[in-house]
Structure 1
Amino acid sequence: MVEQVSPLGFAWKPGRHGNVAGAPGVVLSETRPGSIVQAAAFPGSEKAVMTAIKVATGLALPDGAGGGMSTGTKAAFGIAPGRFLVVDQVEGLAERLKAAVWIKDGAVTDLSHGRTAIRIAGPKAEWVLSKLFAIDFSLAAFPLGAGRATQHHDILAAIQRTGPDRFDLYVFRSFARSFWTLLLHSAEEVGCEVL
């Protein structure tokens, strides 16, 4: 396995930032999963691709737009009609998915080299993300496991709620440093810990 080089570079500065009075409102970290893969179903084959995701990961996705699941090591969620982002902490997910998805049902694209995974967690995570995206981040509107594909200006982001106050964001690697800096500045008001 080749050591991943973070695209955050000099922008990653561990420690406390912004408001340092009291506990931090959010914690930011880069998660560096081994595999980030898109599975796209051809029209009428959505259920077959969802079954393939279950075979490759063990995750049974619920029906409906934006539905998803997350465990400590794997995650999958809808990012568009018939399209799913699937993540594993170990490498090799693209090959497992390709073996499970029939060529007539869909396509699998390994995005591991082109995406950066950022985690924001803490009691103010919803509030900070609401400053950047026109999405209702409340637990009722954005339940556990659910995902959304959206953008902040020209930075596309796939977002999944992986805990009651935790979200994993996937952005293009080429925009990672800029987005990280934006997220850090947005969190300064509530205090931010970078791990």
Structure 2
Amino acid sequence: MKLIGLLDSPFVRRSFITARTLGIPFEHQTLSVFRNFDEFHAINPLVKAPTLVFDDGELMVDSSQIIAWLEHIAGPGKSLWPTDPSAYRRCLQLVSLGLAAAEKSVHRVYEMKVRAAEYRDPDWLQRVEGQIADTYALLEGHLGDSEWLCGDRVTQADITVAVAWRFTHFSAPGLLADSEHPRLAALSAAAEALPAFIAADYS
């Protein structure tokens, strides 16, 4: 099984970290959807990261679907989702907010680094940055004082939210201050110290 994409994508990185945390063996191939378009296209005509290539050559895209499959094959007792209904609902809610923050941060990257400067829309950029800030404000308000978000161990919520927070800081330095989001900053520091996150580091 092979995971294709760059780790500076929050969607590739959450898939990579999930597989590592669940103890699922896989190969990682670092291809850019921009710089390696032709090579990526030869593997997956959609040129979408992450792409998961199964041993039989079949493909899967979308990080949430890839993670659902990884959960399915991980075996009993290894799930990164809580079994308690209220904790599961909270975990899903936080994952959804983390994905929204990551998605809007990617929109900002496309606007600032892909679109030519003369075609950028300042109103759209202001809107996206406002959505990013508001999403993280919602997340900060939902976080408590415990180390992890949905109990006493790492869950998919911790992975997704921490990955999104790191990506936003990496792609938009100065947009958000740790001092205004102390719980998110603490979660990020704890998560980034985990072996699976260290294995998925990027700069």
- Higher normalized helix content (fraction of residues): 2
Normalised TM-score (structure 1): 0.27
Greater per-residue strand proportion: 1
Length-normalised TM-score, structure 2: 0.26
